[in-house]
Amino acid sequence: MSFTPDPQFWSGLRVLVTGGHGFLGQAVLDRLSLQGAVEVIAPTSAEFDLRDRRAVTDMFENARPDLVIHLAARVGGIGANMERPAELYLANLLMGTYVLEEARLRNTAKTVIVGTICSYPKFTPVPFSEDSLWEGYPEETNAPYGIAKLAQLVQLQANRAQYGQHAVYLMPTNLYGPRDKFHPAVSHVIPALIKKAVDAKESGADHLDVWGTGSASREFLFVDDAAAGIVRAAEFYDEGDPVNLGADRELPIRDLVGIIVELVGFEGEVRWDTSKPDGQPRRGVDGSRARERFGFVAETSFDEGLAKTLAWYLGNRGEAEARPV
C-alpha cells in the first residue's frame, strides 16, 4: 500500500488540535501546514478548560471539526509525577474522556488520541510491543498519569465496538526537541540534563548532580518526527489497535549524560544521586506496526536532533525556562 500524503485530503478539512500551543502541538501545527491543511483550529487552555465538560462542548460548537487531534495533557518528569500524581491523573483522565465523548456525540469523522509510553508495564520486554500493554502495572512514579491516558484507549475501543466511532490511539516514546520545557518543575530528562550541564558550565562548577544510577535506558523521538507520525496516522490509519511511535534506538541514561556533557562542553565531574529513582528500567519500542499500517519511520538522527535542541535552548532561554502556569 502506498502512503504518499495527499494535499487534497487536508485542504477541505476543519482540523481541531487540542494542546496546539504546547511542545508537541506546535510541531503538529507546523506539519499540518506543510501537508496543506488550511482550516486548523488550536484553542488555548485559557479559552477552553478541557477538564470542564461544558467547555469541551463549547469548543466543539465553536470549531465544528471534521478531524480532532487530541494532544492536550498535563505532564512532567519523575519529580512532577511524584509530587502531583492525583492532579496529573484527574486532569488527563477528564480531558481525554470529554474530548473523545464529544467527538462521538457529534459524529466527528475522525479523532486521533495521543497517549504515552508511560502506560506500559514497569517490566515490559524490550522492545515494547503494543500487545504488552495489559501485562502488568506501570512504573510507580508515573503510573497515575500512564493509566489516565490508557483509559482513552479503552474508551475509544469500546466506542468503536458499540457506536462505530472512528478514533485511533498513538503512543510516542520519549520526546525531545526545540520548544521543549526546561523549567525544573516540568522538564523531562533531556531538557533537564541540558539545563543542568549548561548551568554547571556557565557557573564554573566542578560537578553536576544527576538523578538515579544511570542504568535505566530510554528511546528518544525527535518532536518533528512525532508530529509527522501523528499526521500520517490521521490520514492513513483507522483501526482500534494502539500504535507505538518510536525511533528504533534505545540509549542508557549514563550514555545520554555523557553525550550531553560533551556537546555542552562541561568538563567537570558527573555525580549520580542514587537516592533518587531511575524510573522505568528500560524503554524501547517496537515500531513495526506504525511502519506497516501508515508508513511511519523517524528520519532525524539523535545527534542532529540533540544539536537542534541545544541550539534552540541557548537562543531562547527565557521562553524555555519560563515557569509553567
The set of catalytic residues is 145
CA 225, CA 156: separation in Å to the nearest integer? Answer: 25
C-alpha span between 147 and 145 (Å, rounded)? 6
Cβ neighbours for 251, distance < 8 A, ≥ 6 positions apart:
217, 218, 219, 220, 302
- CB-based contacts of 146: which residues, under 8 Å, 6+ apart? 116, 118, 119, 120, 138, 139
One-letter amino acid for residue 110 of the chain:
K
Q: How far apart are CA 236 and CA 35, in angstroms?
A: 13
For residue 268, what is the DSSP state?
Answer: S
List the strands of the sheet with 217-222, edge to edge: 174-176, 217-222, 250-252
| DSSP assignments along 242-259, one per residue | -EEE--S-EEEHHHHHHH
- 274 Cβ partners below 8 Å, 6+ apart? 212, 213
